[in-house]
């Protein structure tokens, strides 16, 4: 809502579009797509497209390898097709799969080996390398071993490529928050010269230059107004929905919009010294400092690597000591190959892929895979007020008439405001149109004029109609009629803007204009508290406005009159108490806080920078969707644990059997049986992950059904 000292001026708005440009000396981050290349972790140097392409190529080659495998033919009871060279199909294609599809794992395994941080890549590398060497030894007839693992090698590489492709797709595109910040600046500025103005790139602006900022244009650099007065839309910086009146001698910030009048601004800061660049640095710092817990599958893979390596060494030693060197080789190779179960490679990626798909269908877009894991541990959800818990738009929430009917009051005010495109004017016109009686009183105004910081004036049905706040009343020497003081006092007490309607010098009524609370916000707050999650709110609004909204919604803690940089520190303050924080916001000023929180959640109606800084984006405006995220997080985490327990449990049982610990009693796990059990383990993990599709994520039902 908009009231300065009571009232925002209502002149026509102009187009606010600008041409974005990289910030001077900024840290440009480009938006990326499926070809994104990761720069750290097990996927360093790998792109989503690379894993996808290698998967499809390896899958095409795997089919004939499996068909022409003697081990598979024996298991399924069919005769191998025979023709000249048929015996070389599996070895040749298997080698291609190893060299092409296995390269990402071999490189990743080598990196893990060099950094002494064994994980999934090294475990996969060990398995496919041992299978490759053992299979060639068998194919060439060296030593008389029966270790034909070509089909197992092909399936292992193909399934692992599928798992990593699915995982990287679930990660989403990397954040381009800094680009979104940069695009708030215009590409050019009008520099004032002795001969008029000249258009220059903003990179050429210098301190003490004077620039012309026209109505509807963005301020190109931080500075002070030296001529003129206007209302500025600072919502992209402060998050506050009310335009702010600025006059001579007052500071304005780069990226904000002059909504009504043209002003001249003396430049005081450019490039990296602007407030917008400061927010840009905060986003970068917050992103860099955000904790990145290691994926569960990586931790399990590290343990399984040492388990497999230790089991393999002990197997080789034991069978050699027992005088069976041939069995030592067969048992050791079998242990090392089946120690990398397909199930482990799919346990996490499958859950993430299905979870993100289910979430997307319910308006929750997951960009950061770790957001799923962290959301289940959230202690407090910190909501930005404007545009998140509230509509972020002005609306008439109260009408009080004196000497006229409510319908007549609204019709007169709407007629006077009809020629203005100001948000407050649109709210009054909309209220009159929705009123059953006022909507039928079609009045037209003439002689429309607006005055910054005071209000509007027009002639309606021959009478002079003025609409304005306390400043206008003082200038006219008028007072609020006693019949209205109780209502207007209560409106002011809760932070609403009070606009008086004056006819021929007499106050005939008043309307309250404010940013209305979303109907869904109450249910969201209550349901979060039912789940044991505290709810806090942060806003740049005055304390009385913030407290009124907080009390209405039953919020546990309210942070009011918070500057952009302090939103970030409020997250840190909550974290310093030992709380895990999820931040929900929609403005540029929320971006550092979104990046700093354990989970950043951007509401879909927000700006691009807020959405790019968040790990989760709510496609709609319903804050109850946070409940969907919490319940999905808890359910997916359970599935991850179940899948990991199954995958690891398979190893705990299968590896000792493959090593021959029960050989003295006649129980030995052959390579063929071990491979079959490995495939069954993968099927079980896949089916278990599919159960997530039954999860109900409808926000309306979740908010009505209590804790999950």
- Strand order from edge to edge, sheet including 263-269: 196-201, 188-193, 210-213, 263-269, 222-227, 251-252
Report the chain's C-alpha Rg in angstroms: 33
Task: State the DSSP code for 387.
Answer: I
First to last CA, the chain: 37
Helix (H) or strand (E) holding 31: none
Collapsing DSSP to helix, strand or coil, 178 comes out as helix
* Residue 215: HSE in the Cβ half-sphere, 13 Å Cα cutoff: 16
User: Nearest Cα to 42, choosing from 114, 109, 125?
Assistant: 109
The pair of structure tokens assigned to 700 is: 């309306």
The pair of structure tokens assigned to 384 is: 């930005």
Looking at 222, 260, 298, 384, which residue is catalytic?
384
| 434, 397 contact by CB (below 8 A) | no
Integer Cα distance of 454 and 9 in angstroms = 6
Integer Cα distance of 67 and 64 in angstroms = 5
Tell me the H-state helices in 556-691.
564-576, 591-596, 608-613, 625-659, 671-690
Instruction: Write down how long the chain is.
Output: 708
The pair of structure tokens assigned to 485 is: 């003081």
> CA triplet 58, 59, 60: central angle to 5 degrees?
90
| 540, 561 contact by CB (below 8 A) | yes
Integer Cα distance of 211 and 220 in angstroms = 8
Taking CA atoms, 358 is separated from 355, 483, 699, in Å, by: 5, 56, 13
Note if 384 is an active site residue.
yes
Integer Cα distance of 593 and 566 in angstroms = 9
The pair of structure tokens assigned to 264 is: 């001249």
User: Nearest Cα to 164, choosing from 81, 223, 108?
Assistant: 108
User: Nearest Cα to 356, choosing from 707, 702, 692, 700?
Assistant: 692
The owner of tokens 């929180």 is: 597
| 104, 51 contact by CB (below 8 A) | yes
| 525, 497 contact by CB (below 8 A) | no
User: Nearest Cα to 422, choosing from 513, 542, 519?
Assistant: 513
Name the residues annotated as catalytic: 384
């Amino acid at each position: 809502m908009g009231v300065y000292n009571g009232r925002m001026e209502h002149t026509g708005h102009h187009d606010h579009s600008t041409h974005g440009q990289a910030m001077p000396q900024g840290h440009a981050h480009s938006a990326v797509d499926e070809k994104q290349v990761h720069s750290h972790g097990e996927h360093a140097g790998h792109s989503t497209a690379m894993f996808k392409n290698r998967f499809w190529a390896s899958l095409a080659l795997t089919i004939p390898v499996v068909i022409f495998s003697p081990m598979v033919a024996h298991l399924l009871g069919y005769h191998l097709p025979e023709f000249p060279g048929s015996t070389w199909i599996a070895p040749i294609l298997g080698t291609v799969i190893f060299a092409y599809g296995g390269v990402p794992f071999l490189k990743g395994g080598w990196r893990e080996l060099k950094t002494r941080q064994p994980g999934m890549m090294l475990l996969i590398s060990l398995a496919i390398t041992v299978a490759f060497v053992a299979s060639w030894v068998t194919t060439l007839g060296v030593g008389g071993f029966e270790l034909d693992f070509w089909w197992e090698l092909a399936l292992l590489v193909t399934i692992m490529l599928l798992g990593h492709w699915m995982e990287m797709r679930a990660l989403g595109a990397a954040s381009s928050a800094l680009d979104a910040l940069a695009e708030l600046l215009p590409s050019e500025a009008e520099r004032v010269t002795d001969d008029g103005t000249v258009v220059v790139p903003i990179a050429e602006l210098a301190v003490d230059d004077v620039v012309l900022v026209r109505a509807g244009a963005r301020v190109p650099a931080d500075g002070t107004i030296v001529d003129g007065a206007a209302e500025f839309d600072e919502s992209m910086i402060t998050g506050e929905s009310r335009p702010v009146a600025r006059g001579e001698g007052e500071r304005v910030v780069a990226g904000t919009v002059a909504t009504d009048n043209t002003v001249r601004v003396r430049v005081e800061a450019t490039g990296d010294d602007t407030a917008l660049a400061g927010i840009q640095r905060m986003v970068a710092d917050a992103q860099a400092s955000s904790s990145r817990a290691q994926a569960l599958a990586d931790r399990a893979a590290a343990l399984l690597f040492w388990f497999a390596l230790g089991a393999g060494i002990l197997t080789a030693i034991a069978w050699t000591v027992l005088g069976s060197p041939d069995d030592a080789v067969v048992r050791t190779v079998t242990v090392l190959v089946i120690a990398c179960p397909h199930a482990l490679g799919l346990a996490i990626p499958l859950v993430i892929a299905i979870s993100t798909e289910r979430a997307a269908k319910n308006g929750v877009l997951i960009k950061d895979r770790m957001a799923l894991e962290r959301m289940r541990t959230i202690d407090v959800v910190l909501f930005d007020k404007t545009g998140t818990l509230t509509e972020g738009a002005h609306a008439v929430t109260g009408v009080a008439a004196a000497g006229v009917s409510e319908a007549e009051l609204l019709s007169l005010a709407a007629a006077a405001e009809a020629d203005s495109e100001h948000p407050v004017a649109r709210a009054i016109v909309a209220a009159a149109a929705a009123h059953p009686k006022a909507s039928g009183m079609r009045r037209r105004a003439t002689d429309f004029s607006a005055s910054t910081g005071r209000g509007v004036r027009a002639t309606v049905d021959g009478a002079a109609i003025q609409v304005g706040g306390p400043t206008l009343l003082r200038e006219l020497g008028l007072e609020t009629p006693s019949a209205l003081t109780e209502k207007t006092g209560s409106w002011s007490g809760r932070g609403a803007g009070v606009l008086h309607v004056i006819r021929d010098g007499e106050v005939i009524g008043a309307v309250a204009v404010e940013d209305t609370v979303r109907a869904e916000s109450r249910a969201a707050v209550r349901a979060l508290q039912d789940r044991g999650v505290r709810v806090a709110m942060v806003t740049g609004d005055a304390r009385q406005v913030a407290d009124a909204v907080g009390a209405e919604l039953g919020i546990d803690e309210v942070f009011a009159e918070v500057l952009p940089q302090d939103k970030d520190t409020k997250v840190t303050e909550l974290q310093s108490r030992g709380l895990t924080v999820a931040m929900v916001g929609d403005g540029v000023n929320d971006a550092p806080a979104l990046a700093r929180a354990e989970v950043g959640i951007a509401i879909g109606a927000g700006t691009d920078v807020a959405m790019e800084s968040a790990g989760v984006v709510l496609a709609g405006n319903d804050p109850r969707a946070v409940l969907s995220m919490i319940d999905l997080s808890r359910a997916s985490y359970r599935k991850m644990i179940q899948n990991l327990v199954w995958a690891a449990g398979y190893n705990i049982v299968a590896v000792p059997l493959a090593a021959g610990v029960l050989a003295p009693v006649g129980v030995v796990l052959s390579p063929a049986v071990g491979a079959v059990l490995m495939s069954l383990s993968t099927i079980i993990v896949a089916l278990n992950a599919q159960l997530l599709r039954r999860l109900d994520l409808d926000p309306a039902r979740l908010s009505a059904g209590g804790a999950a």
